[in-house]
Structure formats: C-alpha cells, structure tokens
Structure 1
Amino acid sequence: MLPQISKLEFRVTELKESPVVHKSFLWDFKMGDFVLRDGKLVEVEGLDYIKIWIEKAIRTEANTSFYTNYGSEHHSMIGTVFDRDYVQSELERMVKETLLKNEAITGVSNFDFELDGELLTMNFDVSTIYGNAGVTINAT
C-alpha cells in the first residue's frame, strides 16, 4: 500500500549560515613565494589574512587575473602627468574601491602617499571585522 501523500508531515528547520572564514597562505612579497615551515604552507587568518589580501589586491593590475573583479586600477596612473592633488585623490579612490570589495574590510582611511623616484609608498588604515590595522605598501 502506498502512503497517503496528503497526510505526510514535514518538519521545516531553518538552515543556519556558517560564518565565512577568511584564510590564506602566508606570502613573502620580497621573495615572491609562499612561506614554508617544515615543508608546509603556513595558513593565516584574521588580520594577517587581511594584510596579505590587501597587498595582493593592490599589486595586481585590475581585470588581469582569473577573477575579473580583483585588482587595483592605480596602475593606470603610472607614467601620467597630472596635478599632485588630483593624482592623490584618484589613488585614494582606486585603493578604496579595490579594498572594499572584500566583505571583511569595512573602511579605509588616513591615506598618505610618498613618491621617491619611481617608488610609491602608500600608507593607510583599514577597519575590518577582525579589528583595525595600519598598512604600508611599496609599489612601483
């Protein structure tokens, strides 16, 4: 005998979203390679993850990776001759747009840019779900 479908009862339970865990592997930007300990990749999370993600995102030219919504447009400013205030405001806008794509970053502020020859040093503060951090990035 088949069950009477109209009399079946189903329990509805709410699905709980698991929290997003932000992790990455430690990267040595000077050496250009992953950091290994005992022959294994070193996993980082929290603010350490954020710092690595930020530097990777800024060093990556926008729309050149597999992820089209990743990278910074500030590379387009290289070789241009504009008013210093204009360049700084554009750099600030571009960096903010890049970093705020990461849902763990809630704010970017207190920019300071230094240009020494071809080396651009960017200093700024980030607010994240893990806390706040000061960031310094050297870009060429």
Structure 2
Amino acid sequence: MIPQVQDDIKQDFTIETLPSRTFKMNHNNLTIIGTIDEIQAVEQAVFLILNTERYEWLIHSWDYGVELHNLIGKDVEYCIPEIERRVREALLQDDRITAVQNFEFTVNKKKVLTTFTVVSIFGEINAELGVEI
C-alpha cells in the first residue's frame, strides 16, 4: 500500500523581488562611496563579473566571473566566438540580466576588444571588454 501524504503547502503566496541596492565602488582609488540601486548596481555587477576570473578566487562561487585566461595563445578565429559565449554565460548568471547582445569585435594584434549591450530588467547597458590572446 502506498502511503498518502497530505500536502499542507499554501498556494496563495506572492513572489517578492528584493532590491538590488549595493555599495558603490570607486574603481580608481578602490573606495566605497555610498550606495547604488537598479541600473547602476547592474552596471557595477557587469564590471565586477567581467574583471573576475572564474574559478580563481575561493570567495566566489564557481558560477561567478568569466573564463578568459586560457584563451592566451589561441587563434583569433577560435577566440572571437568563444569570448562571446563566455561573456554571455558569465553575465546571464545574474538574474537581473535578461540578455547580452550586439557583440562587435575589433582585433589589434594580440588583443581583442569587444563591445556589447547588456539588457537588464532595469534597462540597457553598453559594455566593453579587452581580452589579450
């Protein structure tokens, strides 16, 4: 005989979205200068994710950051689609970001400069990233 379980879970609930308020970093002198929210917080999160190498820092989960160091020495034809995939994968880990699109690449010897648009629930952000290959 299969046991019968009564499920007492309430079905009348609302999903509450937490604010995205965070501390504002001054990237020039590495200080905290107040707080930011919404689009500015997402912009700062994009900056931090793209400047953190994935799997390198134990303080971050393995879902945080972007893998770019192992592209050094690889062919440009391999690196360009791989940069796009890795940047998109890294940024979409943040639930405030809904899409990463409009990638454009400029190759200058051993450096690839990419510009792209980050679409978030608060609006769009234009971002860029330089990768040495």
| TM-score when normalising by structure 2 | 0.77
Cα–Cα, structure 1 residues 110 and 129, in superposed 2: closer, same or farther, change >3 Å?
A: same
Q: Distance in 2 between matches of 1:27 and 1:116?
A: 30
Aligned residue in 2 for 1:64: 56
Cα contact 1:119–1:138 (8 A) shared by 2: yes
Instruction: Give the C-alpha shift of residue 61 in structure 1.
Output: 0.6
- The one of the two structures with greater contact order (alpha-carbon pairs below 8 A, sep at least 6) is 2
Alignment of 1:48 with 2:36, yes or no, is: no
| Counterpart among 18, 28, 33 of residue 30 in structure 2 | 33
Deviations 1:96-126 (A, max 9, x none): 0000000010000111233446654331001
The 3-state SS of whatever aligns with 1:106 is strand
Largest Rg, 1 or 2: 1
Aligned residue in 1 for 2:85: 93
Instruction: Give the C-alpha shift of residue 132 in structure 1.
Output: 1.3
Q: Distance in 2 between matches of 1:13 and 1:95?
A: 38
Cα–Cα, structure 1 residues 138 and 45, in superposed 2: closer, same or farther, change >3 Å?
A: farther
Task: Using the aligned pairs only, state the percent identity.
Answer: 21
Instruction: Give the C-alpha shift of residue 133 in structure 1.
Output: 1.7
Q: Distance in 1 between matches of 2:49 and 2:121?
A: 18
Alignment of 1:76 with 2:52, yes or no, is: no
Aligned residue in 1 for 2:18: 20
Cα contact 2:68–2:83 (8 A) shared by 1: yes
Instruction: Give the C-alpha shift of residue 76 in structure 1.
Output: 1.7
| TM-score when normalising by structure 1 | 0.73
**Where in structure 1 are there 5+ consecutive unaligned residues?**
1-11, 37-41
Letter matched to residue 73 of structure 1: E
Cα–Cα, structure 1 residues 117 and 51, in superposed 2: closer, same or farther, change >3 Å?
A: farther
Alignment of 1:124 with 2:133, yes or no, is: no
The 3-state SS of whatever aligns with 1:26 is strand
What RMSD in Å do the two structures reach over aligned CA positions?
2.3
Q: Distance in 2 between matches of 1:100 and 1:88?
A: 18
